[in-house]
Structure 1
Amino acid sequence: MMNLLLVVALLSGARCSAIWGPKQVSSAVNGTVTIRCGYQPEYKDKVKYWCVERLLFLCQPLAKTDGSVTDSSVSLSEDKSRGTLSITMRDLRQEDEGWYECRIQTTEVSIGYTASAVYLNIDRDASIPDLQGPENIIGQLTSETTIHCLYSKDYETHTKYWCQGARRRNCSIVVSTDSPQTRGRTSIRDDQTHREFTVTVSDLRAEDEGWYWCGIKRTFHFSDKLVPVFLTVNSGGSADMKTAKTATQPGSTEALDTTTARGDPTETRAGPTETRAGPTETRAYLPGGTAAPTSSTKGSSVGVWVWSVLRWVLFCVMLLCPVALTCWEMGPQRSPTPTG
C-alpha cells in the first residue's frame, strides 16, 4: 500500500503550495499573454517548465529552464531571487485555448513533478491593445524589480521609454531606448523580436514608490502611447507579507488597494480608468502574492473547477482498477462443490 501511495504522489505531483499561479488567463487571437507562477525557495535549483495538456494526464513540455525544450512562440524566464517563473506566449491562435501547467521537476525523470494548472482562454472578439503593462508592481526595499511592457508589431522600431510622475502630460523621462538606456539605478532594454521592453530598477528605495508610465514615442509628443504603472516598495523585512498601501490614481481620487496577504492567491485592485480589452498580463509575485487575472474568461469557472477535480478522480480509478483486479485474482480459490 505504501508503494502504491508513493507512485500516486510521483505521478500526480504534490499540489500543495510548492508552486502556484493564476487559474485562468485570457487573450485575443494573434495576441500575447504573460503568465507568472511563484514557487517556494527550496525549489530554486530544480528544473521548471511550461507544458500543454494533450491527453487526460499527459502534458507536453513547450519550454524548460534548462534549455532542453524550446518553442519559437513561447519564451520562459526565471528569477530565482524572487522565486518566479515567467511564461510569454505570442501570436496566439484559437487552437491554443486549453489547459497548461507550470511545473517543477522534482526528480531526475519527468515522472516526478509538482504543478499548477492554468486555463488559457482565447477570445476571438477581443481587440489587441498597442501597448500593455502591469497596473501594479510590488518590490522589496534594497532589492531589484523588473517591469515588462508589451507592444504591437506596429511599434517595433519606435523609441520606448520609462517616465515618472502622476500626470501623463508632464511625466519626467527616466530612461529611453535611444538615450540614455541606463541612468542611476534604472535601465531599459527593448526586445523587438518578442515585442517587449523591460525596465529594471535596482536597490529599491522608499522614494522610488509612486506612479510611472510605460511609453512609446510617436510623431507628436501629445500622441505618445502611455500605460500607467504604480510601484509599491515594501519596507517590511519579510518577503512573505506585503504591507497594505493606498495609492491615488493619476488624475482622480480613486484609491488603489495593493494589499496582498500570504496564502491568498488573489489581489484586489482598482485600476486606472482607461479600459483595455485583449491580452491580460497575470503576475505571480513573491510567495503568497499571486495576482488574479482581470479580464473575463469564456465559460463557467465552476466548469473549470469540476474538470480539475474530475480528471484526478478518473486518474485514481484508472490506477486502482488493475490493483483491484490483481488482488481479486490472487484471492483464495474455492474448491468446486462435490456432486453426488
Structure 2
Amino acid sequence: MRAAIIIFIFITLCLISGQVLCFMLIGCAGGSLMFKCMISNQRETNEQHKGKVGISTEIQHRWDYNGRFTLYDDENSRFFTVFIRNLSREDHGKYTCGNNQKWSHDFDLKVNNESGCGTSVILDKYVGQTITFHCEYDKFKSHTKVFYRLKEGPVHVLNSSQSSQSSEEKIILSDSRKDHFNVTIRNISADDGGVYLCGVERDGSDDQPSETSITHITFIKEIQLNVYGGIASVQVQAYSSKSVFITCKFPQEFRRNKKFIQKDSSQKIIVDEQNQWVQHVDHFRASSKASAVIGESVKLTCDFPEKHGETFKHICRENEQKICESISSSEQKRFEFSVSSAGVFTAIISNVSERDAGVYWCGAETRDTHLTSVSLTNQHHLTVTMPPVVGREGDSSEIKCPYNAKHSSEVKHLCKGKCFTEDAQNIIRSDEANKPKISAKDDPELNLFTVTLSELRAEDAGIYWCAVRDEFNLHTDLMIVMKDAVTREASVGGSVSISCKFIRNHMRIFCRGDQPNICVRDGVRVSSNTRTNGRFSVTDETSAGVFTVNITDLTEEDSGKYWCAEESSGSFVFTEVHLHVIGGSSMIVAISVGLILLAMCLVLVLLKIKYNRKHGIISSSDRRETGDHDMVSFKTDLFLNMRKCQ
C-alpha cells in the first residue's frame, strides 16, 4: 500500500452544558470539510465565528454563504451543518458553534502543510455521455465513501459493507478496495454540470467509526464538471460499391474507452480491447499494389465524384490496429495532390523512405464541426525497396541497409533471399565477425547497416534482403556487370549483329540505357520471350552459350550504350555494348572539309610561286633545267608545292 500523504485540520469540539463532549475533526488542506453542530431547543440564530469573521442563518432550509464558510439549518433536526471549503493554514484558531450564544462548542483549528491531498480536476463532457472517474481515499478502505454535489445535491453514500450500488442508479459508486472508489454518472444532462466533492466519513481517529461515534466528512477531491450540448446530427454522403471513412471527435480522457458506431438501436459495431473492429462488412473495390524505391517518388491514383471537384482531397495510412490515420503534419510536405482528369486525382509521395511502406486509402473529404467523413474510393498496398546496386566483375560493392531507430540495439541480417524463410541464405549478421570477401559495419547513429562484398562474380547477382527479426525487411537487387565489353561499328542504312555470352539458359534481354537498372526497367527492346520488335530481332545459339541481336536499317541515332542481360528470379548479369553508326551526313561533312582544305592549299601555292619569281628565287628543279621556258618552270613549281599540301 502506498503511504498516505494527508494534511489534517484538528478541531477539538467541547459541549459545555452540564457535560463536556470533545472530539476531533480531520480534513485536507486544499480540500473541504463538513460536520454538524448541535443546537438547543430554543430556536434562534445559529452561528459559527472566528474572531470577527462570522456567518449565521436567519432562515431554515437554506444554505447561507460567507466566502469559504457555509451553514445549513434544518428545523426538523437537532443539528445544523457546517461546510468549510478550500481549507488552508490560515484557518488556524479558535471557533465557536452556538445558538444565539445560549450554549457553545469551542474548538481549535490546526492545519499542517503537506502534499497529495485536496486535489482538483476539471472534466469536459457532452450531453448523453456517461462519465467515470476515481476518488482516492488512501488508507481508509473500511470507511464509508461519500460523493456530494456542492450547493445542490444530497450526499451519496457507499457504506463500508457495500462493494457497489445498483447499476440502475444515475450515480453509481463502486469501491476498488485498494486506494480509490469509482464514481459513474450516467446519461449526463446539461443540469449535471457543477462542482462535485468526494471523500470519506470518519471520526477523530484513523479507524473505522463505531455506531456511536460523532462523525464528519473529509472531502479529499473536487471535480468541476462542464457539460456541453449534444452533438448535432450530420449527414454523411457515400457512394454505391465504394466505402466511407468517418472520424468522430471525443474528449481526451475517453481515449481508453471503447468506441462504437451504431445504425438504429439494433446494429451496433464496436471495437474490442485491441481496438480492432469486432464486425464489419467490406465493400471495397479491388485494391492496387504499388512499389517505390527509397529516395524516389511514387504516384497513387484516386477516384472522386466529379461534383465534389472542389472538396478536400484526402489520403490516410492504416496503423497497426487497421485504423486509417491522417498523415502527420511533419510528413504532409512530402505529399502532393493534383487533379489529372475529371473524377481522378493523384497523390505523389516524394523522397520515399522505409517508413512509408503500408496500406493507404484515398478519397474526397467533407467536414462538419464534430464529424469528418471521407468517401474512400481506393486502397493502395505500398511496398518499399532499396535502390538497386550495380557492381562490376572483380570489384567491390556496398549494400546499405537503413533501419528504424527503435531497432538500433538489435541484430541486423543480410540474406540472399528473404530472411527467416526456408530458402534464405544468410550472408552476414551485425554480431558476426567479417568473412572472406564479406565485411559488415553497423552505425547506430546513422541507423545504417552496411555490408561490403568483394571480388564480385556473376554468381553474386541476386535479390538481397536486409532484416531485423522478422518484422522489418527491405530488399535490393545486386546487378553484376561483366568485365568484357562489346564494341561494334556499322554504317548508316546497314545492319549489325551483336553477340553476347550467357551463363545459364535463362531469360535474355537486350536494352538501351546509360545505367543497366534503368535499361531493364524502361528500355527493353527484345528478349528471349519477345524475339522481334521492329528493326530488332534476337536469335540463340544455345550450344555455344551465345545469343545474337540483329539491328537493321541503322541510323546515326542508333549509336549509344546497350546492355545484354541474363535474368533469373531477379538476378541480373549484364554485358556492356557500345554501338557506333557512321556514314551518311558524316561522310559528306568529311569530304566537304577535305575539299576546303585542298582549295586553301592551292591558293597558298600560287601565292608562293608568284612571290618567288618576283624576287628571283629559283627552285632546285629550275637550276637543273635552266634551258626550259617559263611555263615549264611554273608547272614544275606548282607540282612540287602541291605535293606538300597532300
TM-score band by shorter chain is 0.3 to 0.5
- Ranked by relative contact order (alpha carbons within 8 Å, sequence separation 6 or more), the top structure is 1
TM-score, length basis structure 2: 0.19
TM-score (norm 1): 0.34
